[in-house]
Amino acid sequence: MKKLNLSELEVNILGWSHDKDLIHVGNAPKQKLKLIEELGETSKAILKNDVKEIKDGLGDAFVVLVILSHQIGYRLHLESFLRYCDDTYSSDPATLITEIIQYSKLESLGAAICTLYHLAETLNYDLTDCANIAYNEIKDRKGETINGTFIREK
């Protein structure tokens, strides 16, 4: 399977979210809750040193942030954007996760994605790899969006 770069993943994730009728601005509050859920799962995985779940959580958080950014009309231009993320971030995962949540509340989603990128680096993971894993996991999911939340078929 070909590894996609972050810009390619953004396009594919947005296509998926359009297909699932998830991209509407009215769904943004639910998407913020989804972000908190994913970051909670990532935190739990960090505590347990569960590599598979850490990668899954980082990738899922990326997917949620991409969808949320487009729900509120913010365009990321990821590949060029991430080159300008500075290195003034904390090296404490708990602080970084808290900052991602704060940035998402302020709708500073570029800063949230930079912080997520730095969190992945701090944990010695590549965000692009994690995002590829997450996208490949969701791309063929069946289900529907109900009240702003995608509910997958079982």
Q: Tell me: the pLDDT tens digits for 16-71?
A: 999 999 988 999 999 999 999 999 999 999 999 999 999 999 999 999 999 999 99
> Which of 119, 102, 135 has the alpha carbon at shortest distance from 32?
102
Q: Tell me: the pLDDT tens digits for 118-146?
A: 999 999 999 999 999 999 999 988 888 88
CA distance 7 to 128: 10
On whether the CB atoms of residues 68 and 39 are closer than 8 A, the answer is no
Residues 6+ apart with CB under 8 A from 136: 1
Bridge partners of 153, per DSSP, are none
DSSP states along 30-49: HHHHHHHHHHHHHHHHHHHT
Domain ranges of the chain: 6-139
Q: What is the pTM of this model?
A: 0.92
CA distance 47 to 56: 14
Going by pLDDT thresholds of 50, 70 and 90, the confidence category of residue 2 is confident
- DSSP 8-state secondary structure symbol assigned to residue 66: H
> pLDDT at position 81, please?
64
Q: Is the pLDDT of residue 12 over 90?
A: yes
CA distance 45 to 60: 13
Q: Tell me: the pLDDT tens digits for 69-120?
A: 999 988 776 766 666 677 777 889 999 999 999 998 888 888 899 899 999 9
